[in-house]
């Protein structure tokens, strides 16, 4: 049996909101380095030199910080979803094509989750990226677009493509090539 590669490229702008989770010991180490740098903790966490001064082998950059995140492709004029099968482009979509409120019959298998972003107490990092947000691959013997699920998240007037599922399997990102265009760190009701 020959299996072929199904590849889905997600291009455009991505939005990430991560609530940081770390131990009290690590928070203490962060505060000591921030004090040496003479800057608030929320500013040094997005400073690349902070991780050099931290001298922690497991935390080399902002990407190594643990936390709970919401992320995905933003519904903007720049978004694009390319579906490739057997090295041929099968479909090219936009997020608006997936949001089918005005159609009698849905064209694509789409799950829409609505939420209000009520942020809890903690430290958050917000980031925007542009470029190849993710390239997802899976081997399959045949491709049927009806087996592909698009999971959208509607949060505070913004729609994002959160994840892709093919035949009940969440597709993992194999490659990413994006540029950070915005980065912010802020805290909500927490002592520093």
Q: Are 190 and 121 in contact (CB under 8 A)?
A: yes
Contacts of 186 (CB under 8 A, 6+ apart): 42, 123, 124, 126
Residues 56-93 have pLDDT tens digits of 899 998 889 999 999 999 998 889 999 999 999 999 99
pTM of structure = 0.84
Say which DSSP state 63 is in: G
Instruction: State the Cα–Cα distance between residues 127 and 33, nearest whole angstrom.
Output: 23
Residue 12 class from Cβ within 10 Å (0-12 exposed, 13-18 middle, 19+ buried)?
buried
Phi, psi of 43 (to 5 degrees): -85, -40
Residues 24-39 have pLDDT tens digits of 999 999 999 999 999 9
Chain mean position to CA 34: 27
């Amino acid at each position: 049996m020959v299996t072929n590669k199904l590849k889905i490229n997600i291009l455009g702008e991505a939005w990430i909101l991560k609530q940081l989770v770390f131990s009290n010991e690590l928070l203490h180490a962060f505060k000591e380095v921030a004090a040496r740098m003479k800057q608030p903790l929320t500013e040094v966490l997005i400073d690349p030199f902070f991780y050099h001064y931290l001298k922690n082998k497991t935390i080399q950059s902002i990407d190594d910080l643990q936390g709970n995140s919401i992320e995905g492709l933003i519904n903007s004029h720049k978004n694009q979803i390319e579906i490739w099968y057997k090295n041929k482009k099968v479909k090219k979509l936009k997020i608006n094509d997936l949001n089918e409120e005005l159609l009698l019959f849905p064209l694509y298998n789409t799950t829409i989750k609505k939420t209000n972003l009520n942020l809890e107490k903690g430290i958050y990092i917000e980031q925007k990226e542009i470029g190849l947000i993710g390239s997802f691959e899976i081997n399959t013997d045949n491709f049927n677009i009806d087996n592909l699920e698009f999971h959208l998240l509607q949060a505070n007037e913004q729609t994002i493509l959160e994840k892709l599922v093919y035949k009940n399997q969440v597709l993992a990102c194999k490659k990413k090539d994006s540029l950070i265009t915005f980065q912010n760190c802020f805290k909500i009701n927490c002592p520093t």
